[in-house]
Structure 1
Amino acid sequence: MSALTQFNVSQTFNVPAHPGLEVPGYSDPTHPNIPPLKSSYVFRHRLLGDVLAFLHHSAGDGLFLCGPTGSGKSTLISQIAARLNWPVQSVTCHGRLEFQSLIGQFVLVNGSTEFVHGPLAVAARDGHILILNELDMMDPAELAGLNDIIEGQPLVIAENGGEVIHPHPQFRLIATGNSLGSGDNTGLYQGVLRQNLAFMDRFRIIHVDYPDPEAEKEMLQAAVPSLPEEIVSRMLSVAGEVRRLFMGSDSEAGQLTVTMSTRTLVRWATLAATFKGAPNVFEYSLNQALTARAEAEQREAIHRIAADVFGDYWQSSNC
């Protein structure tokens, strides 16, 4: 593992910060588990500060990022890690994932069995970030095996002759999910399970919502710089209305079962630029980006919203 070094926050993340503010990372930018860097990525200051504080000193906690689909939870962590040269072990959880799979297993190598360490063991041993995506889809009984190592206790691998891995000081465990560990009350996230309270008590919680319009505008312009500002503004208005109908209110359930996530919004903008010159380019690209998977009535409603917002631009082939 490469040596630790300090990174200037303002220069590294292109955000306003105290000139002397630094965070730790690794000096070697060539490790294969460092996520690819997206130079156009735009950081949200509050979220960046919260994650950097955790990476600087976890104090025996894990970090749990919760929020709606496509709000950028996993991307936030990977883009921070990319700039700090911090290797990442990433796992997408599901109902059949076992704790043992995170530790490792015996495999056949050149005719003999050999123990291969899993992502948890590697991250704990080498000081990587372990990202458990969709944590709330995993069996809570299996996740209980993480309790001790989150708090800094050694990982004992009985299957490998009682091997003991003492967590590296830079080991961090970060999880993402669409719920707060209390199950899904909306019916929109199938497979989400209620998690053990004692397990969830070991996490700091950060809510990651969709970016505000100005931040999202900056993201779109960075991702698709050829898109006119007027079109970007109209796309943002459509996204805001779709999300409002998806989320509903305190007294009324949402009217849509699909939503315009930031991920979907960027996809729509990218496809609009890709199919520039095609008839009804904005409707065509919106269908591919989102509405093709919506029920017919909802697809029609979303297209009606977009047509009203876009006005004369809706039938255009230019963007």
Structure 2
Amino acid sequence: MAFVQYSMQERFGAEFPNVQLIGQQFEAGDPALNFVPKIDQNYTFDRDALADVLNYLQECWNGGTSEAQMLIGPTGSGKTSLIHQVCARLGAPVMDVTGHGRLEIPQLLYSKIAVDGTTMTLDGPLTAALAKGMVFLLNEIDLIEPETLTGLNDVLEYQRVVIEDDGRLVRAERGFAFIATCNTAGGGDDTGMYAGTKVQNIAFRDRFRKSLVDYRDEASELAVLQRLFPSIDQKLAEKFVKVANLVRNAFKDGSTGMDVTLSLRTLIRWVKLTSANSGQQAKGRSPVHYALDRALAFGTSPGTYEALHQMVSQEFGVGPTIANPSIG
């Protein structure tokens, strides 16, 4: 692997400054290439969040830092996809782990397997990221027990870890970066929206730079829909986006009972399913309502299900069942 210079305009788009960024390049066949995310050509970046991530990674790869980066935002706002798309354009491999309440430090550091009657110790995802100079992405850190995360303090501070099982000292190679995502910033959740999240130790939280990743603005999402669905009518696309924002605002409000949100990924799925099910109109069903069920609404609480369809009816001007729809 070699560190190289990439043009930001060439990698991220002509609308960005013509500056040079540190990136990575691997020889063909290098196993690390399996961990480099694929570029999504339709992805659009939030400039502030992109700047935060780029600044952090450039510092990590140009001398190192004892700090980590935390991305905070609501469910479905694109925290993980932001890291993947930045690293995809910089050629950087990403080691992903999703946090949960039963996650323990040894699981991140090593595992043991039986081979031909003997026991072999394998590097865990964090150890592998340190040793191979990869971006380590720990998602949903506010679901992890606080005493577990406190055990990572020395890793963040000194960029190294001692493997208890065999006594090895593993130091971070150039390219290593520690990034975490969460909904609550480790401060707990009083709204009830994020069940299972926990208040994290202040010493652990203090080791992170913070960046907010919220839902995209309306213009950005419209641009995405128009790129993915070139034949979509402008006013129709606006209605899809308006419903998405109604759902998100109700979810973030916390007092409406809305127990789901509508991510950009779900928005795209909804538009795609609406087009694919246009034939439902001939059966007296609204394709946009029919598709919403399959994109999001099925499985929600009765109150949320009704509220979702009311929002669609409000914006599209058509109910779930129709007689002679002009749209739908």
Aligned residue number for residue 207 of structure 2: 202
Structure 2 counterparts to residues 8-157 of structure 1, below 5 A? 8-19=7-18, 21-28=19-26, 31-58=33-60, 59-157=65-163
**What residue ranges of structure 2 are gaps of 5+ in the alignment?**
none
Structure 1 residues 191 and 313 mapped into 2: Cα distance closer, same or farther (>3 Å)? closer
Matches within 5 A, 1:229-240: 229-240=234-245
Given the alignment, which residue of 217, 220, 224 partners 1:215? 220
Q: Deviations over 1:83-142 (max 9, x none)?
A: 111011100110001110000122112332111001100101111001101111011111
Distance 1:111 1:225, change over 3 A: farther
Distance in 2, matches of 1:92 and 1:317, equals 45
Name the SS for the 2:77 alignment partner: coil
Aligned to 1:204, what secondary structure does the other structure show?
Answer: strand
Structure 1 runs not aligned, ≥5 long: none
**Structure 1 residues 276-298: Cα deviation after superposition (integer angstroms, max 9, x where no partner):** 33221100011111221222233
- Find 2:275's aligned residue among 273, 276, 284: 273
Tell which deviates more after alignment, 293-302 or 125-134. Answer: 293-302
Equivalent runs, 1:158-237 vs 2, <5 Å: 158-160=164-166, 162-237=167-242
**Quick one: structure 1 residues 29 and 284, their matched pair in 2 at CA, closer, same or farther if it must change by over 3 Å?**
farther
Give the C-alpha shift of residue 247 in structure 1: 2.4
2:266 to 242, 264, 272: 264
- Which position in structure 2 is the counterpart of 1:294? 300
* Percent of aligned pairs with the same amino acid: 36
Match status 1:309 vs 2:307 = no
- Cα distance change of structure 1 residues 29 and 92 upon mapping to structure 2, 3 Å threshold: farther
Q: How many angstroms does 1:80 deviate by?
A: 0.9
Q: For each residue in 1:209-240, what CA deviation from the matched residue of structure 2 results, as whole angstroms up to 9, or x when unmatched?
A: 10110111122223333433222100111112
Could you tell me whether the CA contact under 8 Å between 2:66 and 2:159 is conserved in 1?
Answer: no
By how many angstroms is 1:29 displaced? 7.2
| Alignment-mate amino acid for residue 9 of structure 2 | S
User: RMSD over aligned Cα, in angstroms?
Assistant: 2.0
Report the Cα distance in structure 2 between the residues aligned to 1:203 and 1:146, rounded to whole angstroms: 12
TM-score (norm 2): 0.90
Q: CA deviation at 1:176?
A: 0.5
* SS of structure 1 residue aligned to 2:278: coil
Q: Partner amino acid for 1:166?
A: R
Q: TM-score w.r.t. structure 1 length?
A: 0.92
Aligned residues: 313
Listed one character per residue, the Cα deviations across residues 229-285 of structure 1 (whole Å, up to 9, x for unaligned) are: 22210011111222222222xxx8234222222222122112112223322110001
Q: How many angstroms apart in 2 are the aligned matches of 1:271 and 1:75?
A: 22
Letter in 1 for 2:210: I
Q: In the alignment, residue 70 of structure 2 is paired with which amino acid? A: F
